[in-house]
């Protein structure tokens, strides 16, 4: 049987229909795709409602989801998701991955009103490579020539589950600091740290105070931000996001410069991860009783580039590969429940139209 047999691309106009069609594949490797759409739907039901177009595509083989692509208005890029069950198949069957990305590229070119709107995508490294290579090879048929910017974003995506969690570390249990959900009284402090986070990030973002407040206010209100207090002052924060019925993501963690190397980041990550998974956090001051406001999750996902941060996450139970071995052929990070690899490599690539000098 040809690998392209039974491949079925589908475009969705209704976000709820997309979520219904993909709900059986709600895992951390799909979190960017599904979480962003869930968040969009939630905002549509609130005062921030807009009627901008959401792009949602899925590629099935018969009834099995292989790849999903979404673009939410005003988001940074398109998001590609490959569920874990499909990822194992695609990684060991290169011909199927090539056929799937080719089918998806042709569907995008047919359906998108502006071919250049497929301008930036975050996703699985090999799949993004094949998808963009095929898509860009088709654009000259429309009289468009583009170049690919391969960027510097190269991260590991991973997740933690109840089964992957280690015992709560002595560092976390004996921490003299208070780890609590942020309140509205913490907005100014969290915004200040968010500005520093953006400045210190690889992209060296420049964010105004007003922009930072706009970013952090909603997550704080909804219980998605936790802080660590040292002597009563906010010294660090952890922001969650992209909640789906089964998953949630750690979006960013930042510790103020003067409070680093005190175990604060590790205590924050361990505490919040366990809280999201509904696991006991005895001995940590400030953790509220009862389930999270967004519900107990089966997985907490993240993406990480910095090696130091990766070590913290790995100690907290995230299924990242062994960090001291070969970086070209990493091993380890196996899910103890499924036996599958608990991580993957992601990139962010973009395209730009080439101009012709006259």
141-to-128, 138, 146, 189 alpha-carbon distances in Å: 21, 6, 12, 52
pLDDT on residue 57: 98
Count Cβ atoms below 10 Å from residue 50 Cβ, excluding itself: 10
Round to whole Å and give the CA distance between 349 and 70.
15
Q: For residue 78, what are the β-bridge partners?
A: 121
Phi, psi of 239 (to 5 degrees): -110, 130
- Residues 6 or more apart whose Cβ sits within 8 Å of residue 16: 41
Phi, psi of 175 (to 5 degrees): -60, 130
pLDDT on residue 326: 52
Condensed to tens digits (0 to 9), the pLDDT of residues 288-323 reads 888 999 999 999 999 998 888 999 999 999 999 987
Token pair in block for residue 318: 């995230």
Residue pair 247/301 in contact by the 8 Å Cβ criterion = yes
Residue of 351, 255, 357, 257 whose CA lies nearest to 309: 255
pLDDT on residue 47: 45
Residue pair 285/179 in contact by the 8 Å Cβ criterion = yes
Q: Which residues of the chain have pLDDT under 50?
A: 47-49, 357-358
pTM, rounded to two decimals? 0.92
**b/e sequence 100-123, b meaning 16+ C-beta within 10 Å:** bbbbbbebbbeeeeebeebbbbbb
Helix, strand, coil fractions of the chain, as percent rounded to 5? 40, 25, 35
């Amino acid at each position: 049987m040809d690998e392209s047999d039974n491949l079925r691309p589908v475009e969705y106009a209704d976000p709820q229909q997309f979520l219904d069609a993909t709900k059986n594949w709600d895992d951390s490797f799909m979190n960017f795709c599904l979480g962003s759409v869930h968040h969009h739907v939630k905002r549509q039901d609130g005062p921030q409602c807009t009627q901008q177009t959401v792009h949602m595509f899925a590629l099935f083989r018969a009834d099995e989801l292989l790849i999903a692509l979404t673009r939410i208005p005003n988001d940074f890029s398109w998001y590609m998701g490959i569920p874990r069950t499909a990822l194992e198949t695609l990684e060991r069957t290169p011909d199927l991955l090539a056929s799937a990305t080719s089918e998806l590229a042709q569907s995008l070119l047919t359906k998108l009103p502006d071919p250049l709107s497929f301008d930036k995508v975050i996703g699985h490294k090999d799949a993004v490579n094949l998808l963009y290579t095929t898509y860009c090879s088709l654009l000259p048929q429309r009289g468009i020539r583009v170049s690919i910017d391969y960027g510097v974003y190269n991260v590991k995506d991973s997740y933690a589950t109840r089964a992957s969690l280690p015992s709560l570390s002595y560092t976390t249990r004996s921490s003299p600091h208070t780890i609590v959900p942020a309140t509205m009284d913490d907005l100014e402090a969290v915004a200040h740290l968010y500005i520093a986070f953006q400045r210190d990030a690889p992209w060296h973002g420049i964010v105004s105070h007003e922009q930072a407040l706009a970013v952090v206010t909603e997550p704080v209100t909804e219980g998605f931000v936790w802080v660590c207090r040292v002597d009563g002052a906010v010294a660090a924060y952890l922001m969650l996001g992209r909640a789906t019925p089964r998953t949630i993501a750690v979006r960013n963690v930042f510790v103020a410069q003067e409070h680093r190397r005190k175990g604060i980041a590790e205590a924050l990550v361990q505490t919040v991860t366990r809280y999201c998974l509904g696991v006991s956090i005895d001995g940590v001051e400030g953790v509220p009783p009862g389930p999270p406001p967004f519900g107990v999750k089966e997985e907490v996902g993240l993406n990480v580039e910095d090696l130091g941060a990766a070590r913290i996450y790995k100690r907290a139970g995230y299924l990242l590969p062994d960090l001291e071995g070969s970086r070209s052929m990493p091993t380890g990070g196996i899910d103890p429940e499924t036996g599958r690899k608990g991580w993957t490599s992601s990139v962010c690539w973009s395209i730009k139209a080439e101009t012709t000098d006259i």
